[in-house]
Each structure stands twice: as C-alpha cells, then as structure tokens.
Amino acid sequence: MSQTEKNGMISTGNSDLDSRLQQWFQWNQNEDQNVEVREMMEKQDVATLSKLFLERMQFGTAGLRGRMGPGFAQMNDLLVIQTAQGLLKYLQGAFQDLAGRGVVVGFDGRHNSRRFAELTAAVFEQAGVRVNLFAEVCPTPFVPFAITHCNHVAGVMVTASHNPKEDNGYKVYGSLGTQITSPVDKEIQRCILESLEPTIAWEVTLSPDTLDQAQLVDTAEAYYAVLKAGVFNAEANAESPLNVTYTAMHGVGYPFIVKAFEVANFKPVIPVVEQVEPDPEFPTVKFPNPEEGKSALNLAIATANAHNSTLIVANDPDADRLAVAEKTRQGDWKVFTGNELGALLGWWSLYTYQRRTPDPDLSNVYMLSSTVSSMILKTMAKQERFNFEETLTGFKWMGTRSAELKAQGKTVLFAYEESIGFMCGTGVLDKDGVSAAVRVTELATFLQSNQGLSLSEKLNYIYSFYGYHISEISYYICHEPEVIKKL
C-alpha cells in the first residue's frame, strides 16, 4: 500500500488533492491507470498529482483535446463518460425531440478513439436516445454532413486531428452541422460538472440499432453525390494528364479519397504506401501535420518522384485539412501555404460558378475567411463584385455564418483559413480535406489542359491581377491550460 494510502484513507498533505484522488478511485475502473496513479502516490509526486487531479480539462468551443492518461486534466475513459453525460444533459434541455432525432458519433484511428466513441454512444443509448455510431474510422467531415443529412441534433467526433500521438480529443457539432460556439460550450461545461458520477457500465455492449450502419451507408452515398454534383468537367477529369500522389499521414483518409477520385472521374491516386493505413503511432513522421511542409511530406515527395507524379495532395490524420505540393518546371517541389491555396481555390470557385450559372448575379454570392488569413478573397470580391465576409478565427464562425447565409437564400461558394482548412460549397459546413483534394486536382487538370499552366504559375497570375498578398506564419505549442486560457 502506498505511503499516501493507508487504512483506505489517502493522505498527500493536501486535503483537496486527497478528496479528488478518493473520487477518482471511486469512479474510475481503468485499472492500468489506477496502478499508474498509485505509483505516483508511492513516489509522493504531489506536484504531478496536483496537476492531474486539481486541474480539470475544460470543455470549449473546440470540445476537448489533450494528452491521454489518468486524472481529470487528461483524456481518459472517465473524463469521456463525464463529458458525454454533460452533453446529454445539455441536449435534453435544448431539444424536446432529442430521443427521436438522435446523435451521430464518429472516430479516427488514434489510440482509444473507438473506445471513447463507444462510451459516448453507450451514454446516449442508455438514456433512450437514437445513436448512429460509425462502425469504422471516418473523416471528421462525415460527422457534420451526417448531422444535416440525418437531421440529428448533434454529433461527436473523437479525434485530435494532427496533434502528437499522445493526444486525443472530443469535438462536438450542433444541429446545423457546424462546430459549437459560445455560450453553448459554457452550458455544456456546466452540465458536465453536474454529471460527474458515471451512470453506465464500464464494459460497453451496444444495441443492434446503434450498430446498424444502414443510415450511415446512405449518408456516405449522399456525401459522394454532393461531391459529384460539384464536379466541373468529368470528361476532362477522365483525360487528366496528372499523376497524383496521395498521403493519408497515417490517418483515415485513403479509402475516402479513393472513392472521391472515382466519383470525380479521375484515375486512381498513387498512395504513399508507408502512410496509407491508420496507425496511431505515426511511425514515419515526427509530427503528423502536413502543414509542416517538406519535413512532413518527404515520403510523399519520394513516392511522387518515383512515379513521375507532379502533384501531391495530403490529408491530416482525420482528413479535414489539405496540403498540396507541386513539382516545378525546374524540378523542385513547392509546398503551398494555406493562404496560397485559398487564393487558388477562391479563383476556381468563382470561375466554375460563373461558367455553370447563366448570367450569374454575384450580389447574392459569398466567400469567407477568418481574421488570421490573407485578405486575397476580399480583394477578389471588390474586383469581381461578389460579397466577402471576415470572421473570427476558426471554422466554427465561418460554418455558422455560412449556415445563416444559406438560410437567407445566399450562395456560399468557398471559405478558408490559413491553417490549410477549406470549405468548398456548403455540403459540409466545416473544413473538408476530401472534397478540397478533388477541387484542387480539378483546378490543376484544367490549368494544365486548357492554359498550359501549373498551380504556381496560376497563383502568380492571380497575384499580378488582384495584387500581391504575402504572409509569414508560424506557431507556438503550449500544453498549459491556464496559459491558453489567458491568451
């Protein structure tokens, strides 16, 4: 028995910490994590124990995201159960038709993602709420799409996106198929704190209704139908001279990209075989984020060079972001920034809309970007006389505003954020790396076949016509919740 645990009592010298530890052992049934906590107690590591148990991971507009491990400040079974119970309580108060409309739950390929998704489904199922649980890993954009397609009141995606392998996360979408905004996050956090004691069995057995995939299969078919409807020239795509290399970055994207390229009438992508299957260890990359540039794309570049490929498209592990690299005429590789891709996709979105729509009235057409992104779309809007709106940082704002505009009968062509997030149309009211990969490949095909241009050359033309928009972007990584909160 630990020196801090005698006669069934815990004594660390801090009564608040003792109470939290007692609560943890009372509720948590993950014995591996209980052993880990007792080892810390044996070592009298009060500083680490205080950090893990006196602090609590806060639910925000991005849900939860953080390191996996024991304690109320990390991602684990108990924290997920508490979060799901709080979300359930909030939705019960907000939607009288919750039980019938239900929720959708998806997950990526990270450690514990399936487990966290099943625990969430169990919480809602026990309360008599209809649950659509994806049976296998899926891209994040499939969850918001399923919400609107199936008329769910909410959705949960278990993912930490492109974070390090030690992390996981819990993202919540509202009834519009958009990420939640304040004050909803604060209401959910309040409900979580009122729902801390677990009410479900630790060993999850889900009902056949929850495991039934019929509606989710229909959802996937509907997603690809929307994607196909947006294809500009299927015949030209079939004749595309491009060999496209694709990396899933050890994430979920590959089978969905394969289907998307088939639907768009492209020949199959050339996969980076070392990175094509979901692998929670991310063994070939230091950081599974294609936004890192060449350091994350070295295997993709090697694969492309070996297959006479001049275009690389890369998703992050949950396939909601897209990175693109192009081989220049000089034989070097250019990795595009998010702002550069935003300029290219903005131009393409407008061009294809004008060609599809006889005598287009651009007074009801919109594009959006967030305040941390380039203002290239704003400049385009002034020149071409469509509408541009700038939002606060994050797709939660662009998605929500797009939903409002759509409800007013407006047409939202495109929205983006510099961190390689792109929303092409309003089929998914969030960033979508699958559809964006198809649109970039369509653009590259069109440019090469019709204008003899590369993406880089077209970008220079866009800048020479609308004005140069230059940016220098970097980031800092912070793991301290209090510092993040202050920022």
CA gap 262, 239 in Å, rounded: 13
**pLDDT for 148-203, tens place per residue?**
999 999 999 999 998 999 999 999 999 999 999 999 999 999 999 999 999 999 99
The pLDDT of residue 287? 85
Among 126, 133, 153, 107, which residue's Cα sits nearest to residue 213? 133
pLDDT digits (tens, 9 = 90+) for 190-238: 999 999 999 999 999 999 999 999 999 999 999 999 999 999 999 999 9
Quote the pLDDT of residue 472. Answer: 75
122 touches 204 (CB < 8 A)? yes
Is 473 a residue whose pLDDT tops 80? Answer: no
Return the C-alpha torsion angle 173, 176, 182, 186, nearest 10.
-50
- pLDDT reading at 5 higher than 70: no
| Domains detected in the chain | 24-200+208-220 (3.40.120.10), 231-486 (3.40.120.10)
pLDDT of residue 471: 78
pLDDT surpasses 80 at 7 = no
Q: Which residue has the tokens 């069934």?
A: 8
Residue, of 12 and 53, whose pLDDT is higher: 53
Percent of the chain with pLDDT over 70: 97
- Give the pLDDT mean for 3-27: 82
Q: How many other C-beta atoms can be found within 10 angstroms of the C-beta atom of residue 73?
A: 20
Mean pLDDT over the full length of the chain: 94
Reported as a single tens digit per residue, the pLDDT across 138-150 is 999 999 999 999 9
3 pLDDT above the threshold of 70: no
Q: What angle do CA 252, 254, 260 make, to 5 degrees?
A: 115
At 442-454, the pLDDT tens digits run 999 999 999 999 9
Look at residue 6 in the predicted model and tell me its pLDDT. 54
What is the average per-residue pLDDT within 362-385? 96
> What pLDDT score does 470 carry?
78
- Does residue 309 carry a pLDDT above 60? yes
DSSP 179: B
Report residue 351 as tokens.
Answer: 């061009």
pLDDT at 487 over 80: no
Q: What's the whole-number mean pLDDT along residues 23-38?
A: 96
pLDDT band at 8 (very low <50, low <70, confident <90, very high): low
Catalytic residue IDs: 161
pLDDT at 240: 94
Q: Is the pLDDT of residue 485 over 80?
A: no
Backbone region of residue 128 per phi and psi (left: phi > 0; alpha: psi in -120 to 50; beta: other values)? left
Give the percent of the chain with pLDDT over 90: 89
Across the range 460-481, mean pLDDT stands at 82
Closest CA to 106 of 451, 441, 474, 428: 428
In which band, very low, low, confident or very high, does the pLDDT at 1 lie, cut at 50, 70 and 90? very low
199: left (phi over 0), alpha (psi -120 to 50) or beta: alpha
Alpha-helical regions (H) of 95-183: 98-101, 113-126, 142-150
C-alpha–C-alpha distance, residues 257 and 344, integer Å:
20
Q: Could you count the other beta carbons within 10 Å of the beta carbon of residue 243?
A: 15
Give me the pLDDT at residue 98, please: 98
Cα 242–chain centre separation: 28
Q: Is the pLDDT confidence value at 486 over 90?
A: no
> Taking 70 as the threshold, does the pLDDT of residue 481 lie above it?
no
Is the peptide bond prior to 183 cis by the omega test (within 30 degrees of 0)? yes
Inform me whether the pLDDT recorded for 2 exceeds 80: no
Say if residue 80's pLDDT is above 70.
yes
First to last CA, the chain: 42
Cβ–Cβ contacts within 10 Å for residue 10, how many? 18
Closest CA to 37 of 66, 64, 74: 74
What pLDDT is stored for residue 295 in this prediction?
83
pTM confidence score = 0.94
